[in-house]
Structure 1
Amino acid sequence: MTYRTRFAPSPTGPLHLGHAYSALLAYDRARLHGGEFLLRIEDTDTQRCKPEWETLIYEDLHWLGLEWETPVRRQSEHLEDYDRVLDQLAARGLIYPCSCTRGDIRAALSAPQEGAPLVGPDGIVYPGTCRGRDLDSRKPGDALRLNMRKAVEAIGNTSNCGFIENGPDHTGTHQLDAETLISGTGDVVLGRKEIETVSYLLAAVWDDAAQGITEVVRGVDLYEATFVQVLLQALLDLPTPTYFHHLLIRDEDGKRLAKRHDSKAIRLFRQDGASPEDIRRMVGL
């Protein structure tokens, strides 16, 4: 099987050193394995994604010396695919509509007897307020949540589902744990009401399968999300790639970089006369 990996940025701002590290590491691993490196644009957030940011992604990555297959897969061009996946899950009774806002969720969990709210890969673990609703009751603006208990029951023995991690922090084979998914992760959002589209958790699973990705290279901040995505792969009968969750590039205060850290933007290093080799040294490659 040919090794295939990808770099999948969202065009919501300039790429920074953390993006450079992830893209270069994925590219290097593809070359190491004699495989292929793909670029995917995750642009389903129509409110924040801008054409000018997408153009800058191409410019920055080409300047870094990266090459990839064309045409580039853009998620905004495959919304019907994601809708069909949601329909499959709906037909099995695995998703339900949810009208709760973030404020509603915080309020439901703020009672003293509840203790500190649990936080999972999708944020604060949802308390299940809308879990009893059926899809016929969905209103405009409702999110679609995965009923985690039903999803776990649908795949049977979760110990038969797992993934291989090649990254530095969690190297080894990891199995899913039913109770951790139900209680520690909860009913994650698969369709987001803010922009009427699919969530990252589901879209990335579908895209990785559609593109034949054999190893997912991404930041360790997404490690916990992998367990949900492996569950979705099992539900949808999709292959599970191996994963390489790399360490994060952080600022002087130890905080991970975000797109608001414009001073770390690749375009500014380019404008200041840095070379691609300088960027590699800065990120430890």
Structure 2
Amino acid sequence: MTLLQLLVLALVQGITEFLPISSSGHLILIPLLADWPDQGLALDVAVHVGTLLAVMLYFWRDMIAMLLGLLNLLRGRRTDGARLVAMILVATLPVLIAGFLLQRAGMMQELRSVLVIGWATLVFGILLWLADWLGMTIRRVEHMSLGAALFIGCAQVLALVPGTSRAGVTMTAARIMGFERDDTARFSMLLSIPTILAAGALAGLDLAESGDSQLGFSAILAALLAFGAALLSIWGLMWWLRRATYAPFVVYRVLLGAGLLAWGYGLL
């Protein structure tokens, strides 16, 4: 892999991981459009580590609160931190189960097509716009119930289809239930932590089994680039959503989805 390929893939992963535009879709499309080889397992693990560290650093207060909440729970005391951990765990279970079943059935590879990504990008972009337009802004993460967390978790299962966007579909589900825009992003990104851990762990196991771990410096550079890009992306998204709507991301998704469908159907 050339330095240009490494830079592009690491930066794209970092930027798109937490935006509602689908990181998996972009990472499938870029090598396809540029005729680049697959980036390999070591790079996958590296960029997952970078984005994971970025989200944990940005939300360090929530991380400390959840850790203290777990410790207090062991002492028989329930706190807001422990409650947040419970919400995240409930919301994570559906995608772990669905992902395991799809992987065992060998269906994951079949979803990696231009047409699938195009339709998912377009349809779920429009759904994000509808949810953002119609949804009220009256609830915070502190108001979340187990039922609401489970609803968001079930919506997250749809993100197994490339182009859907894990961030986008969880934000859409939260907006449908009336959560404020910045809180939808906050919960979505906290919810990404166990998901990224699971994805990184699976890639790490595959890497260990293959014995192909010789990237060394390239993997470290990719992790650092993904970390920096993800941190800036998170900060920018949170700043924007405290002041405006999801409209720019919807416009981007509609244009990208329409372009991919035109390409996939041979119109371009």
TM-score (norm 2): 0.27
Going by fraction, where is helix more abundant, 1 or 2?
A: 2
TM-score (norm 1): 0.26
**Larger RCO, structures 1/2 (Cα 8 Å, 6+ apart):** 2
Going by fraction, where is strand more abundant, 1 or 2?
A: 1
Question: Which has the higher Rg, Structure 1 or Structure 2?
Answer: 1
